Structure 1
Amino acid sequence: MAALNYWLWLTTRRGVGQRGVLRVLEYFGTPERVYFAQQEDLEIIPGLTPQAIRGLLDKNMEESEAILGRCDRLGVQIMTIQDADYPERLRQISDPPAVLYILGHRIRFDEEAAIGVVGARKPSAYGQQVAPKLGLELARCGALLVSGIAQGIDSLALRGALKGGGRVVSVLAGGVDVPYPQENRFLYQDVAAVGALISEYPPGTRHKAEHFPIRNRLISGLSLGVVAVECARFSGTMRTIDHAIEQNRDVFAVPGNIDAPMSQGPNWLIQQGARPVTCGEDILADYWDQFPQKLAHAKVMDPEHLRQRLEPPPKAQKEEPKPEPQPKEQPGREKISLSQQRERFTDDQLVVLHAMLEGADTADVLVDRTQIPARRVLSALTMLQVDGAAEQLSGGRYAPLVELEQE
Structure 2
Amino acid sequence: MSDFDPRAYWLWLQHALGAGSSKPNRVLEGWNNLEEFYCGGREAWLLEGYFTAKELRGMESYSVSDAQALLRYCDQIGQKVVTPDCDEYPAPLRQIHNPPCALYYKGALPDFSREPAISIVGTRKATQTGKTIARSFAYELAKNDVIIVSGGALGIDTAAHQGALQAGGKTACILGCGIDTAYLAANAALRDTIAVKGVLISEFPPQTQASGSNFPIRNRIISGLSLGTLVVEAAARSGSLITADYALEQGRDVFAVPAGIFSPVSAGVNSLIKSGAKPVSGAKEILEEYPEWIKSKFFLDDTKTNVIIEENGAKCGSFKEDKKQKEICADKFSPDAQILLSSLTNRPRQIAELSESTQIPVARLLSAVTELELEGAIESHSGRRYSLRRS
Same fold (TM over 0.5): yes
Aligned to 2:282: 279
Cα separation, partners in 2 of 1:163 and 1:56, compared to 1, 3 Å: same
Q: Residue in 1 aligned with 2:263?
A: 260
Q: Which residue of 2 aligns with 1:23?
A: 26
Stretch deviating more after TM superposition (153-162 or 31-40): 31-40
Contact persistence 2:303–2:323 (CA under 8 A):
no
121-130 or 243-252, which moves further after superposition? Answer: 121-130
3-state SS of paired residue (1:155): helix
1:161 aligns with 2:161: no
SS in 2 for 1:110: coil
Conserved? CA contact 1:35–1:59, under 8 Å = no
| Alignment correspondent of 2:194 | 191
Q: CA deviation at 1:76?
A: 1.3
* CA distance in 2 between partners of 1:49 and 1:16 (Å): 15
Q: Residue 81 of structure 2 is aligned with which of 62, 78, 99?
A: 78
Matched, 1:13 2:22: no
SS of residue matched to 1:2: coil
2:121 is matched with: 118
The one-letter code of the counterpart of 1:90 is L
Partner residue in 2 for 1:98: 101
User: Aligned pair 1:39/2:39, yes or no?
Assistant: no
1:307 is aligned to 305
> Which position in structure 2 is the counterpart of 1:394?
none
Could you list the structure 1 runs, at least 4 aligned residues long, displaced by more than 4 angstroms after superposition.
14-17, 301-306, 312-316, 362-367
The whole-number CA distance in structure 2 between the counterparts of 1:314 and 1:100 is 42
Residues 106/364 of structure 1: CA separation in 2 closer, same or farther (3 Å cut): same
Distance 1:68 1:74 in 2: 10
Q: Is the 8 A contact 2:5 2:68 kept in 1?
A: no
Instruction: Provide Cα deviations, 1:44-83, integer angstroms capped at 9, x if missing partner.
Output: 2242233323332335456424421221112211111122
Secondary structure of the structure 1 residue equivalent to 2:266: helix
Contact 1:179–1:188 under 8 Å retained in 2: no
Larger helix share, 1 or 2: 1
In the alignment, the residues of structure 2 paired with residue 220 and residue 143 of structure 1 have an alpha-carbon distance, to the nearest angstrom, of: 14
Offset at 1:249?
0.7
State the AA in 2 paired with 1:206: Q
Distance in 1, Cα, partners of 2:324 & 2:172: 35
Deviates most, 165-174 or 282-291: 282-291
Greater radius of gyration (CA): 1
Aligned equivalent of 1:206: 209
Cα separation, 2, equivalents of 1:46 and 1:16? 20
| Aligned pairs (5 A) from 1:340-351 | none
Greater shift, 131-140 or 205-214, is seen at: 131-140
Query: Displacement of 1:26 after TM fit?
Result: 2.9
What's the % identity of the aligned pairs? 37
Q: Which moved more, 1:55-64 or 1:273-282?
A: 55-64
Q: How has the CA–CA distance of structure 1 residues 315 and 363 changed in structure 2, closer, same or farther, with 3 Å as cutoff?
A: closer
Alignment RMSD (CA, Å): 3.1
Amino acid across the alignment from 1:234: R
CA–CA distance in structure 2, aligned partners of residues 215 and 226 of structure 1: 14
1:58 is aligned, of 43, 50, 61, to: 61
AA aligned to 1:172 is L
Is the Cα–Cα contact under 8 Å of residues 175 and 204 in structure 1 kept in the other structure?
A: yes
Give the CA deviation at 1:121.
0.6
Tell me if structure 1 keeps the 8 A contact 2:106–2:195: yes
Which residue is equivalent to 2:149? 146
Task: Quickly say closer, same or farther: Cα 1:314–1:291, change in 2 above 3 A.
Answer: closer
Unaligned ranges ≥5, structure 2: 307-317, 334-369, 376-391
**Structure 2 CA distance for partners of 1:15 and 1:137, relative to 1, 3 Å:** closer
Deviations 1:59-114 (CA, angstroms, capped at 9, x unpaired) = 54564244212211122111111222322211111111111111111211121120
Q: Deviations over 1:273-329 (max 9, x none)?
A: 21111222122112233232xx3x33xx5654653894365669xxxxxxxxxxxxx
Output the CA distance in 1 between the equivalents of 2:240 and 2:104. 23
Amino acid in structure 2 at the alignment position of 1:276: P
Q: What SS does structure 1 have at the residue aligned with 2:212?
A: coil
Letter in 2 for 1:203: P
In 2, distance between residues paired with 1:106 and 1:205? Answer: 21
- Equivalences, count: 324
SS at structure 1 position matched to 2:133: helix
Residues 318-357 of structure 1, C-alpha deviations (whole Å, 9 max, x = no match): xxxxxxxxxxxxxxxxxxxxxxxxxxxxxxxxxxxxxxxx
Q: How does 1:362-381 map to 2 (within 5 A)?
A: none
Runs of 5+ consecutive residues of structure 1 not aligned to the other structure: 317-361, 368-374, 381-407
The amino acid of 1:126's aligned partner reads T
Q: Deviations over 1:10-54 (max 9, x none)?
A: 221267972233322332233322221123311222422333233
Letter in 2 for 1:250: D
- Distance in 1 (CA, whole Å) between partners of 2:246 and 2:9 is 30
Structure 2 counterparts to residues 218-229 of structure 1, below 5 A: 218-229=221-232
**How much has 1:204 moved relative to structure 2?**
1.4
Equivalent in the alignment of 1:324: none
1:264–1:15: structure 2 CA closer, same or farther, 3 Å change rule? Answer: closer
Q: Kindly tell me: are residues 37 and 128 of structure 1, through their superposed partners in 2, closer, same or farther at Cα, counting changes over 3 Å?
A: same
Aligned-residue offset at 1:127: 1.2
What SS is found at the alignment partner of 1:108? coil
- 2:140 counterpart of 1:137: yes
Within 2, Cα distance between the matches of 1:78 and 1:53?
A: 24
| TM-score, reference length from structure 2 | 0.75
Q: In structure 2, do the counterparts of structure 1 residues 210 and 80 end up closer, same or farther at CA, with 3 Å as the change threshold? A: same
Letter in 1 for 2:38: Y
In 2, the alpha carbon distance for the partners of 1:141 and 1:306 equals 14
